Amino acid sequence: MSENQTVEPMIGRVRRSLAASGPEQIGAGLLLAATVTAIVWANLGGGYDRFWGTELHASVGATSFHLDLYHAVNDALMAFFFFAVGLEVKRELTIGELTDRSRALVPAAAAVAGLVVPALVFLVLSRDSGAAHAWGVVISTDTAFLVGALAIIGPKHPARLRVFLLTLAVVDDIGALGAIAIFYTEDLRVGPLLVALAALGAVAATRFAPVPRGPLYATCAVVAWFGLHEAGVHATLAGVAVALLIPVAEPRRDDVERAVELTRAFRQSPNPRYAAAAGRQLRASISINERLQQAFEPYVAYLILPVFALANAGVVLDGPTLDRAVSSSLTWGVIGGLVVGKLVGITVATVAVQRAGIGRLAPGLTIGRVAGGAALSGIGFTISLLIVGIAIDDPQLQDEARVGVLAASVIAFVIGAVILTVLDRRRPVTPPGATLLRPFDPERDHYFGRPDAPYVLVEYGDFECPFCSKATGMVSEVVRHFGDDVAWVWRHLPLHQHHPHAELAARAYEAADLQDRRSEMSALLWAHQDRLERLDLLGYAAEIGLDLERFEADLDSEAVRRRVREDEDDADLMDVSGTPTFFVGDRRHVGQWDAATMIAALEASRR
């Protein structure tokens, strides 16, 4: 049995296990457990309200400050949540998915419709409730629950749908945060607001400080929070504002090279001084935005959001409350906005943008699956419950709105699960791996031969795979046999678990292609499969005469990373998990791939 046949099931299991777990899914589980706990606690007696009404006092000299536990969670603890959201938004806008405007256009347009349509549905249904101004309750999607729900449902090949929904969620977050800032701020006080603005200005200037910046960022953030709180602006927005002012950038060439030098020095002479210097340089080579995202993620997922749910989801589900909710236009407005508004708004906007030719969905992502994701987007938990507490003062109306949020989340999950499950059974994306998902595209693909050649051989492989290296000889024989009548297409599938340098090598290939030297680079990569470290790749780039500064910038660019990732996504959708994998025409080749066998398969494909 070949290594390809042995490793393929193992890689598939690893990918599926990674897709089924992670901080987002575990966080969603904790969030659900906290929600159920809050509801049970609230229905056991008056202890729930008494606990969250506990007063907290702090004083310095003549100045005192007090909050109850409920507002400490919603105003102070949730500032960290919004800080994490702001970091993600800044990264996506600067170096992430939203930098490619054409790629982001469809989910961005869908997100805007997913903000506007639910608000309109809510206003129509709840116009007589006395709380129509609380339309902000229905505009936001809970990303943690959304991702968790997708993992629980487990649709086949969820990668592209997940990327679509996460891109949509970023735009959704921007709209929800804007609504809180603009429409739910009252009694604005100018003096404290000026203090907050000055603190935010100091945050922006901190990047130029010659001293350690962490304490400065923390101090300015605290001042900004107090300033906004005293100004009458919802203080959680301090977290967003600070995050948007923290810089994010791709690693710089000089910083990475310095980290490599220090790591090499430590390897040659292990000692505490070199270890500390290498650690500092490694941290410095990654922007503070990304370091903070990684540091805050577990605390937000495992602590802050569950505590928030515990403080906000405690609805007394007794007879009178449920009777009021059933007949309440506010409750039905929330349910209609989240369930119907999200589903209709996102789906219709996606169809409209596609038909207008403005944007298109990724391969393998159908309108039906978008509709399933749109239904799941009606799970509007975290920000929805937050806005309930901000926009509605009447406790009874708050309970009616919370019942609506909880009911909508359950209904949205059920509808999304039904849509995705039915589609998987009746309209599968493709027989897994049997048919080439994305046909040969001469405008995009890397290929050798005529673009209109009658024979097409597509290979998914990685530069660290020894079997892929051996396959180059077979490909050469096939090309000699058919001449100009065959086009050989190369697509990336780096096997991260077994070939740790394969992704970097794939990016080097793409970076060399941007300087029209991909053939020369691929020859060196195949010749030196055991030497694919970064410095090795820079040496190969110099050897073939590339502009090194441009090469390294491209090597680390988001566009090149995305190009490799897109090939990986296609392979994942087709259940391709081993290398090399060949497609003859648009059909997956199964069995031996020696030259004689591949020539016969290609000739059979024409017949």
Write the pLDDT tens digit of every residue in 132-149: 999 999 998 887 788 788
CA 218 to CA 237: how far, in whole Å?
15
pLDDT > 60? residue 6:
no
- Average pLDDT (246-267) is 76
Mean pLDDT along residues 295-302: 86
Unique residue bearing structure tokens 């209709």: 344
| Full set of structural domains in the chain with CATH | 3-185+234-250+287-426 (1.20.1530.10), 446-606 (3.40.30.10)
Q: Rounded to an integer, what distance in angstroms lies between the CA atom of residue 571 and that of residue 526?
A: 22
Please report which confidence band the pLDDT of residue 515 belongs to, taking 50, 70 and 90 as the band edges. very high
pLDDT at 433: 59
Say what the alpha-carbon torsion angle 236, 240, 241, 247 is, to the nearest 10 degrees: 150
Residue 370 has pLDDT above 70, yes or no: yes
Q: What are phi and psi of 46, to 5 degrees?
A: -90, 5
Query: What pLDDT was estimated at residue 17?
Result: 37
How many angstroms separate the Cα of 49 from the Cα of each of 42, 46, 56, 70, 198?
7, 6, 15, 9, 37
What integer pLDDT is reported at residue 174 of this predicted model?
A: 80
Full 3-state SS string of 444-490: CCEEECCCCCCEEEEEEECCCCHHHHHHHHHHHHHHHHHHHHEEEEE
Cα–Cα distance, 30 to 302 (Å, whole number) = 7
Least confident among 363-372, 424-433, 475-484: 424-433
Q: Which range in 160-164, 202-206, 576-580 is most confidently predicted, on average pLDDT? A: 202-206
Amino acid at 124: V
Q: What is the pLDDT of residue 14?
A: 33
Q: What is the DSSP string of 55-110?
A: EEEEEETTEEEEEEHHHIIIIIIHHHHHHHHHHHHHHHHHTSGGGSHHHHHHHHHH
Q: Residue-wise over 391-407: b if at least 16 C-beta within 10 A, else e?
A: bbeeeebbbbbbbbbbb
Q: What is the spatial distance between Cα 147 and Cα 152, in angstroms, rounded to a whole number?
A: 9
Helix or strand (DSSP H, E) at 581: strand 581-584
pLDDT bucket at 210, cuts 50 / 70 / 90:
confident
Residue 210 DSSP one-character state: S
CA distance 196 to 192: 6
What is the length of the chain? 607
Is residue 468 predicted with pLDDT exceeding 70? Answer: yes
Higher pLDDT, 260 or 100: 260
Task: Centre a 10 Å sphere on the Cβ of residue 573 and count the other Cβ atoms it contains.
Answer: 23
The conformation of residue 435, written as its DSSP 8-state character, comes to: B
Q: Report residue 527 as tokens.
A: 């010749």
The more confident residue out of 376 and 270 is: 376
Q: Per-residue pLDDT averaged across 373-400, rounded?
A: 90
Task: Give the pair of three-digit tokens for residue 523.
Answer: 């020859």
Q: Per mean pLDDT, which range of 40-44, 158-162, 322-326 is the poorest?
A: 158-162
CA 522 to chain centre: 31
Average pLDDT, the chain: 85
Res. 220: pLDDT tops 80: yes
pTM of the entire predicted model: 0.67
Higher pLDDT, 250 or 450: 450
Q: Is pLDDT above 80 for 15? A: no
How sure is the predictor about 16, in pLDDT bands with cuts at 50, 70 and 90?
Answer: very low
The full DSSP string for 179-209 is: HHHHHS--S--HHHHHHHHHHHHHHHHHTT-
Average pLDDT over residues 572-588: 86
Q: How high is the pLDDT of residue 215?
A: 87
Look at residue 45 and give its three-state secondary structure.
coil
Distance CA 437, CA 37 (A): 45
Nearest Cα to Cα of residue 369 among 573, 170, 571, 572 = 573
For helices 595-606 and 466-482, give the axis angle rounded to 10 degrees. 50
Contact 484/449 with Cβ under 8 angstroms? Answer: yes
Nearest in space to 244 (alpha carbons), one of 307, 326, 181, 318: 181
Mean pLDDT to the nearest integer, 71-77: 88
Of the candidates 99, 240, 90, 271, the one whose C-alpha atom is nearest the C-alpha of residue 177 is: 240
**Confidence band for 56, pLDDT divided at 50, 70 and 90:** confident
Identify the pLDDT of residue 3: 37
